[in-house]
Amino acid sequence: MQWLKLKLQFIFIICILISSAWGQLGRDPNGYLTYCPCMGRFGNQADHFLGSLAFAKALNRTLILPPWVEYRKGELRSRQVPFNTYFEVEPLQEYHRVITMADFMWHLADDVWPESERVSFCYMERKSLQVEKNDPEKPNCHAKDGNPFGPFWDTFHIDFVRSEFYGPLHFDVHHSAIAAKWQAKYPPETWPVLAFTGAPASFPVQLENCQLQQYMHWSQRYRDGAREFIREQLPRGAFLGIHLRNGIDWVRACEHVKDSQHLFASPQCLGYKNERGPLYPELCMPSKEAIVRQIKRTIKNVRQTQPNNEIKSVFVASDSNHMIGELSTALTRMGISVHKLPEDDPYLDLAILGQSNHFIGNCISSYSAFVKRERDSHGFPSYFWGFPKEKERQQAKAHEEL
């Protein structure tokens, strides 16, 4: 009898848990918002995600968390990696309502967003490479034309029946009353899901949205991986994390510095109005000699100001050349060891860099910007290659001594 009573109690608890879970997946009367993170790699997508999260909150719509779009060497089509592979969903709920795209499509889409009502949103007509020049057609978003657009929506078997052009509406919810205009033009009763061909956000991330990084928590796998590497592979004591961008694609991107006021994530060190100076080449592609000098200077400064927490090692993340040999040769006499992951994993690199005692990143790189925002949310110090300029730094030091 006692056994039966315990069994019934157990079944009752399970029913409550299932009911609670289904309750969380109940239809949101305020509607939903989703998009394809179709511009750039992870750093750019992360910038766009923060802006899209703020936009969804301003419209009071649940954000359907898109998977991360990844491009693997040798593969023609992009891969879609579930959002919660890298980041936890629950902390985001502290800021606003979210649901993974898999959960939405599996549990809610048939009711909320039936196939006959799936409309793609874009600012204006997007031309297709598949349409013959002499074959006129109605204006269209062509939401699935090309890679990653097609593979992204195909992952969830989503096709669109028509297009909606939302121009001249925009996404800056911080400096205008645009949210109310979106709500008036696209009420959730008739537009339950706003599905954008690209992220409803600006790049780089708006200054007002940078603080939303605090809600992005690494998944257990990456938290454990970072802790394990730091504990087992790095010497005991403080370590300096550095990010080196030096692949051929980055070399080509840096050629645009001379023609730009801003480039990619440069506002993170120069300011959004260049209030901390103009763009210059060393910010984008510092020389190997300048990198070594700055690392040595950082280590010496920490030894002078924090003698009980001096740097014992350097961890390197890079898209190409980690400079392990050059850095080891330069730092051996200082008693500093240099390390990298045995196998490339850009996400584990990010998680480790976020935990470093000190960090030097690339001002122009949105990948570095992700680390900087995470560290800012914890009050950890960060610096940038070549910033400020070495001459300006020397002049400032001389002025302080005088």
- Give me the CATH number covering residue 112: 3.40.50.11340
Q: Which two tokens stand for residue 35?
A: 């998009």
Query: Do both 270 and 374 map to the same domain?
Result: yes
State residue 127's pLDDT score: 80
Q: Residue 349 pLDDT > 70, yes or no?
A: yes
Single out the residue in 208, 239, 269 at which a domain terminates: 208
Residue pair 155/67 in contact by the 8 Å Cβ criterion:
yes
Q: What is the mean pLDDT of the segment spanning 14-23? A: 40
Query: Do both 322 and 271 map to the same domain?
Result: yes
State residue 397's pLDDT score: 53
213 domain residue, yes or no: no
Query: Do both 253 and 378 map to the same domain?
Result: yes
Share of residues in the chain with pLDDT > 90 (%): 85
In this structure, are strands 68-70 and 79-81 parallel, antiparallel, or unpaired?
antiparallel
CB hemisphere CA count around 77 (13 angstroms): 12
State residue 128's pLDDT score: 78
Query: Do both 52 and 163 map to the same domain?
Result: yes
Single out the residue in 208, 232, 263 at which a domain terminates: 208
Single out the residue in 208, 242, 276 at which a domain terminates: 208
Cα–Cα nearest to 118, from 194, 183, 199, 56: 194
325-334 residue pLDDT tens: 999 999 999 9
Query: Do both 239 and 369 map to the same domain?
Result: yes
Query: Do both 290 and 350 map to the same domain?
Result: yes
pLDDT band at 9 (very low <50, low <70, confident <90, very high): low
Residues spanned by the domain of 303? 220-401
Average model confidence (pLDDT) for the chain?
A: 91
84 domain residue, yes or no: yes
152-162 residue pLDDT tens: 999 999 999 99
Query: Do both 159 and 241 map to the same domain?
Result: no
Q: What is the mean pLDDT of the segment spanning 191-215? A: 98
Query: Do both 201 and 58 map to the same domain?
Result: yes
Share of residues in the chain with pLDDT > 70 (%): 89
Query: Do both 229 and 137 map to the same domain?
Result: no
- Write down the pTM of the prediction: 0.90
23-68 residue pLDDT tens: 456 899 999 999 999 999 999 999 999 999 999 999 999 999 999 9
Cα–Cα nearest to 362, from 345, 387, 333: 387
Question: How many structural domains are present in the chain?
Answer: 2
Query: Do both 119 and 50 map to the same domain?
Result: yes
Angle formed by the axes of helices 178-185 and 42-59, nearest 10°: 70
